[in-house]
Amino acid sequence: MNLNEFRSLLAPGEQVRRNHEPCPAGVDTRQRWYIKKTEDGRRIVAFCHNCGQKGVLDVGLTGKSIRPTPISSTGARKIQLPADMEMNPSLWPEEARKWVLKSGLDFQDCKGVGAGYSYSQARLILPIWRDSELEGFQARSFNPKEIKYLTYAKTKPLRAWYNGTREPGTVVVCEDLLSAWKISQAGFTGFACLGSAGGASEIFALSKQYNRLVIWLDNDKPEVLKNSRRLLRYGEMFFPETGIVLGSSDPKRHSLEDIRRTVDESL
């Protein structure tokens, strides 16, 4: 795999995962190829947890980076949204508009999450706010040759959190930002892990604010199903009521009525 494509995509200290193609140990469908830019920004290193193959690319300090860079010793990063974000969905490229509609959302949902299209990055920008502060954002590409999602985070792990009003005591843990938003519109609180597995400490923290927990991940892979059951076990330790949704697509692809019924039936 050519590491040059990551030269301008990664900030110092940033890491992404890809399927290793070709992998000597067999077909990799679990994104076992880890690519990271070193903290000093001078090298890109890679390692496959499937076959053990390594890779190193010296990049020096040349090349323009579109990723944010560290600004303090605490690990916090200065995050800024692209200056050319187009907020009117009717002016987005066709593939971006089709993806939104195919995901079961409408342009009003896009306005609700503050989504916009950046032509300089050729990506749909999905910002994440907390108390009027920008915590980070995801940038979604529609080019099959590029990394699908880039995540820009002020601190890690980055989470998306939208409060609902119908059942304020119920929190639904999902994978992606748009699903969390759709869950909140159905009346529950949506908590998105954004591709990284949550842990017992996060489930415990949620139990301090909510009394019902539902795990609803897109169980399209064995490891995701395993993670769903792991999070449920944590939930059973701290929540009086827990539920899990299995064999279902992302919440964002369901109607609000379906989400309400599915969550209620899982408990």
Interval 100-116 mean pLDDT: 89
229-245: per-residue pLDDT in tens? 999 999 999 999 999 99
CB proximity list for 74: less than 8 A, separation 6 or greater: none
CB proximity list for 192: less than 8 A, separation 6 or greater: 159, 160, 161, 173, 174, 175, 176, 177, 179, 180
Q: What CATH number has the domain bearing residue 216?
A: 3.40.1360.10
What's the number of domains the chain is made of? 3
Interval 166-183 mean pLDDT: 92
Whether 230 and 193 map to the same domain: the answer is yes
Which of 113, 132, 153 represents a domain boundary (last residue)? 153
Q: Concatenate the DSSP letters of all residues of 23-51 into one string.
A: -TTS---S--EEEEE-TTSSEEEEEETTT
Does 90 have pLDDT greater than 50?
yes
Q: Is 69 inside any structural domain?
A: no
Alpha-carbon dihedral sign for residues 172, 174, 176, 182: negative
Rounded distance between C-alpha atoms, residue 222 and residue 246, angstroms: 12
Whether 101 and 117 map to the same domain: the answer is yes
Question: What's the pLDDT at 196?
Answer: 64
Q: Is 112 inside any structural domain?
A: yes
43: how many CB neighbours lie within 10 A of its CB?
Answer: 16
More confident residue, 32 or 232: 232
Q: Is 255 inside any structural domain?
A: yes
**Which residues constitute the domain of residue 95?**
85-153
More confident residue, 114 or 222: 114
For residue 172, the cross-strand partners are 190, 214
Whether 261 and 177 map to the same domain: the answer is yes
Whether 147 and 165 map to the same domain: the answer is no
pLDDT > 90: percent of the chain: 43
Residue 193 to residues 60, 84, 121, 178, 203, Cα–Cα distance (Å): 33, 27, 24, 11, 11
Q: Is 77 inside any structural domain?
A: no
Q: Is 192 in contact with 176 (CB distance < 8 Å)?
A: yes
Q: Is 66 inside any structural domain?
A: no
196-242: per-residue pLDDT in tens? 667 888 999 999 999 999 999 987 777 888 889 999 999 999 999 99
